[in-house]
Structure 1
Amino acid sequence: MPYDIIVCVKQVPDTANVTAEAMKEDGTVNRAALPTIFNPEDLNALEAALDARDRFGGTVTAISMGPPKAADVLRDCLFRGADRAILLTDRRAAASDTLATSYILARAIETIGRYDIVMCGRQAIDGDTAQVGPQIAEKLGIPQVTYLEELVALDGDLARIRRNVGNGWELVEVRLPALMTVIASANQARPPAARRVMRYKRARVPAEIEAEVKKSLGAVSDEEIQDAAARRAEELRRQGLLLEQWDLDDINAELDRCGLPGSPTKVFRVQAIVLSKKGFTEVPPTEEGVGQLIHELIVERTLG
């Protein structure tokens, strides 16, 4: 029995290179100031989905929510073996927190239609909340299995999964459709296939095409840019290289549940903490010693 699998992937800021410009005045992340990468555990989720398709048959659809540049991770998905790639991009979705993001992705999954399994990375390195996957499952009304370490078997509408529980593992069974979040120890992602790289390196979403055409034509009218972009898009469509691009209208999303209006979370500050002190301090196991330690931590602004 073949299985249709949807994988949610994200392009994230490289948190190893956070700078002082990482945060905007409104408390949102300044993504333009940071280099971007494929979220690591989403790559593990993609590999788990591709492995399941290779073993049991079916399809793998990758979907990413983000600016047009997020098409980079979708091309990477195609390079590694995904069958379909969809970019969900809309300025009205900007600054979405986990509540709004999970709503938008759930609407996109419902718009795709048929699916047996939804896979996500456990968490994204730009937030580390591990909330989006479980919230998607709640909004879709399907069961979820978190911390997947191995998809042991698929038999009809039953999946058998080994999940990590911190100090060991457990084997669980779940009825499909279901959502699964995948951890880094689950697998090692396969490398991009050379032939697929050669085929899909020119694949573009419409927003990328328009930007490239505008850059190449220079100072011309908007109508000329749109006409040239439409011709280029049609050419790529004939070659099977036009990636799907959706906005909030395409998924019939309620706008008050998207972007800032649908995001109750407010970021206070983004900081890069560097621990520079060497050695250790011995604290007497007394009330006075503990009190002195707390005082020092407060004075040094480690606490408070």
Structure 2
Amino acid sequence: MSLKIVVCVKYVPDASGDRGFGGDLTVDREGVDGLLSELDEYAVEQALRVAEASGGDAEVTVVTVGPEDARDAVRKALSMGADRGVHVEDDGIHGSDVMGTSLVLAAAVEKVGFDLVVCGMASTDGVAGVVPALLAERLGVAQATLLSEVSVDGSVVRGRRDGEGAVEVLEAALPAVVSVTDQSGEARYPSFKGIMAAKKKPVESWDLDDLDLDGDEVGLEGAWTLVDEATQRPARTAGTIVTDEGEGGKQLAAFLASQKFI
């Protein structure tokens, strides 16, 4: 039986852009370019490595939740080598927090069918890092998070977690959810052949009705967390220049003391 691997990815605002909040205090995704979260590229890479190690007896499906442009994240993963994609898009999802996002992802993953779900360690916009655990809980399966190495042997997934003082080796029976770190191996760069092939790979579009979910469970209405207030970060100033004319050390110490650094 073919191994069914699902990779959950996110379309995020480019960190190099001028990111901010919209009028409803949700992340402004229209005023800045977006892309596949860099940390999710590692998840795609590990899923592809597991599929390749299976001798081709595996299918990799990429799932994302987000606005229309989020389809670009799916296409990037398909160009890397994934087989098919699913894009969940619905106006009711706007403003979802980790609870709502994990609910939608769980419903989509269940509909796709899975043996192994692979996630990045966190998204580069929210950086909460809890969606993989929430997803495993909603799916009712084991989780092995923050792995730097992943492999599948029969009906068991194994991984290595590198800590500051120790290395842990974890294993879980499939089906399971794993998340991988940015130390798990450099993500492959899509080849021209892969980019062209991705255009022919299927990408399904689902909404909340397709997943039998109610709008009041997700979005701003269903969010467990809300942003009450946001203030634009002030522009960076030139700073204070100390001209050393024999008293530079004293001036520097006085400045550090005034800023309560010493």
User: What TM-score do you get using the length of structure 1 for normalisation?
Assistant: 0.74
Runs (4 or more) in structure 1 with deviation over 4 Å come to 270-284
Letter in 1 for 2:96: S
Q: Does 1:269 align with 2:258?
A: no
Partners of 2:253 and 2:115 in 1: how far apart? 55
1:1-304 → structure 2 map (5 Å cutoff): 2-19=2-19, 22-56=20-54, 57-113=57-113, 115-151=114-150, 153-200=151-198, 203=199, 240=200, 243-267=203-227, 268-269=229-230, 271-272=232-233, 296=260
Q: 1:78 to 1:127 in 2, by over 3 A?
A: same
Partners of 1:170 and 1:162 in 2: how far apart? 6
After TM superposition, give the deviation of residue 146 of structure 1 in Å: 1.0
Gaps of 5+ in 2: 243-251
Partners of 2:218 and 2:231 in 1: how far apart? 23
Q: 1:179 to 1:272 in 2, by over 3 A?
A: farther
Q: 1:274 to 1:147 in 2, by over 3 A?
A: farther
Q: For residues 249-280 of structure 1, give each alpha carbon's deviation from its aligned partner in whole angstroms, at most 9, with x where no partner exists.
A: 00111322111111121123265477765797
Query: SS of the residue aligned with 1:48?
Result: helix
Partners of 2:162 and 2:235 in 1: how far apart? 30
Q: For residues 163-197 of structure 1, give each alpha carbon's deviation from its aligned partner in whole angstroms, at most 9, with x where no partner exists.
A: 12244421111111111111111111111132221
Query: SS of the residue aligned with 2:16?
Result: helix
Gaps of 5+ in 1: 204-239, 298-304
Partners of 1:165 and 1:282 in 2: how far apart? 41
**Partners of 1:8 and 1:62 within 8 A in 2:** yes
After TM superposition, give the deviation of residue 5 of structure 1 in Å: 0.6
**Partners of 2:84 and 2:202 within 8 A in 1:** no
After TM superposition, give the deviation of residue 138 of structure 1 in Å: 1.0
Q: 1:274 to 1:43 in 2, by over 3 A?
A: farther
Q: CA RMSD in A?
A: 2.5
Q: 1:270 to 1:102 in 2, by over 3 A?
A: farther
Query: SS of the residue aligned with 2:212?
Result: coil
What's the % identity of the aligned pairs? 34
Which structure shows the higher helix fraction?
A: 1
